[in-house]
Structure 1
Amino acid sequence: MTQHTDAVVIGGGQSGLAAGYHLRRLGIEHVILDAQAAPGGAWQHTWDSLHLFSPAAYSSLPGRFMPAQEGEVYPDAGHVVSYLADYEKRYELPVQRGVWVSAVHRDGDFLRVETDSGDWRARAVVSATGTWTRPFLPAVPGRREYAGRQLHTVQYRSPAEFAGQRVIVVGGGNSGAQIAADLAGTADLTWVTQRPPRYLPDDIDGRALFDAATARRQALDAGRTDTGGIASLGDIVAVPPVRAARDAGLLPARPMFSSLTPDGVVWPDGTSAQADAVIWCTGFRPALAHFASLRLRGSRGHVATVGTRAVDEPRLHLLGYGDWTGPASATLIGVGRPARDAAREIAELLGR
């Protein structure tokens, strides 16, 4: 059976909820289809010690401040999950859970959203599926021959399961630094990065990062010189656990190894190390397989957009995948503005 609505939002995490909030404010009939069984998006699947980069008040979706977490300046992931669940309930957002979207097709004046529980036809679609379900693993020589345990950021939970083991953490971004700090003192840790770690100044948190991303987008839109955005400041936010491990000398970084062996890794100079586990903190790609039939994806798997709107399919908006879908749109505080813009464009499309 095919159901009809004005707009379908694919994904019920933070970006999907922000889209739903603004669509609801504009009186646009919509449904939010989420593959997860419970609220919270990717936040319900993170490692145990993960905390936000910003205080609660600076980590909020549109319309409702995130309450502070008792005893914490930077809320943990569990607090974010509770906030998202409350947000969804407070605004009575029409989320349908356990619905897997397999494809989006052009269907005359509509887009048809194909799911495992029936199809939807809508005048507009907002894709907010994020990146968490598409972890990226680099093609390092020997990776398939390595006999130890390999896992990605998405599979890491706590240092307890690696106590006393020889662990190599790969990646010089925030996830790599935080997981390395989490393991320091529990595991025999080797942290590997493509270039020497670049820490942001210790007083910088998510508020400054959002401002930097916004300033960069404004400069580019105005034809001014690229400010470099967040990348110009550094790669790693020195959250308290990372700062403590760094200052204690527990986070020395080695350059990237050249290959894996059955029992470890080898560096270009011929030195080697044995490892019981390798944790790849090597990033993600946007989860856009459901657009295959639309033939929209270009370089790096991205879809060309103007703001959030797909250039080659104006009935489609992409939200929350990174700066190419709005400044800081992959963050709690940053997704509100592009979600609002997408909802307004959908209202114009519908003649509202």
Structure 2
Amino acid sequence: MIWSDMYFRLKSPSGDYYDLPPETDFSDLPEFPEGVAMVYWDYYHDEKKHYDNYIKLHKKLSDQTLFAGGAWIWNGVAPNYSWMAATLMPALEACRENGVSEVICTFWQDNGAETPMTAGNLSLTTFAEACFSGENGLQGEEQRVNGDYMEFLWGDGREAWWLLDRFDNVPGAGKNNRYADNPSKFLLYQDVMLGLFDEQIRDLGLTEHYQRLAEELAEYRSRHSGAHVLFEYYEVLARLLEQKAELGIRIHDSYHSGDRDYLAEAEKNGIPACIRLTERLADLRQKIWMEECKVFGYEVLDIRLAGVRARLEYAGKRLAQYLSGETDCLPELEEKRLVYAPDQSDGSHALCSCNFWQNIVSAGNIAGI
């Protein structure tokens, strides 16, 4: 197999993969090797017309064309099922109509493989159902796999799996989370004293969002004693985000308004609660990793989650120093908070995507150094 962007980018003035017009001529390119299949990969488009055009372009190069769609488990720490479904259905419909009979569901693991492999079960089943059902054009709720079938295959019904989509498909995200916003990742890792993403999420109500999500996950687990450990892991993550998502905002605002009572409450109760949840999260993530993967690679997540705990402990110490009079100023809280990545093209899109851990934990990462 050869993934076709190596050919298509040669014909694009910008070096892009997805901007070729239907009349593109490939006759000046090297002949495609005999016996090698061309893979058209596309995880980013939700219109069948685009896929139709691109399959036809691929067939100009090779009569052995495969399609690779995305499970979207690389959004960060939680799957992006909404965008998986929105891109998958028109793609597979186009494949069926254009005679592409072989397709691949990809499980990329960008930036640390933070989303458990098991979280891709819904994507796999949705993919298979769309391939073998013979039905075209299923969209939105209609395409979601029958709950009994999901439970038969994986032990948990579809309603439970779709709860995981709500970690990143939150108020302020684009339709179907088309921009791959991942607040569950950047709010998990961001430093509460530095608040790099605080203005990005201000007034979106994410504390209440994650509280409701945690309650629904807990309610599901109470009714299904045999639920996969994955759902306990995500319940703990939701409870941690409920506590931590806006903690930095409240600390910052209380510092500037002189609300020492809240700062004392955060130092005594809020931060320790986050630390306990982080420890439980790390234990569960380790258990899931060892069930799914070789040991190699877990050191990355171990270091990252230990860093969350360490920076929470630091925040507690700094607040204690301020409240005791050991220091009369916290420079971390003096700096003006800015919106991390404003979207100038879509006024309804308030959130952002940041899938590189090193860009979340510090503003001091300049050019990767």
Give the TM-score category using the shorter length: under 0.3
Structure number with bigger Rg: 2
- TM-score with structure 2 setting the length: 0.25
- TM-score with structure 1 setting the length: 0.26
**Greater strand fraction, Structure 1 or Structure 2:** 1
Question: Greater RCO between the two (CA within 8 Å, min separation 6)?
Answer: 1
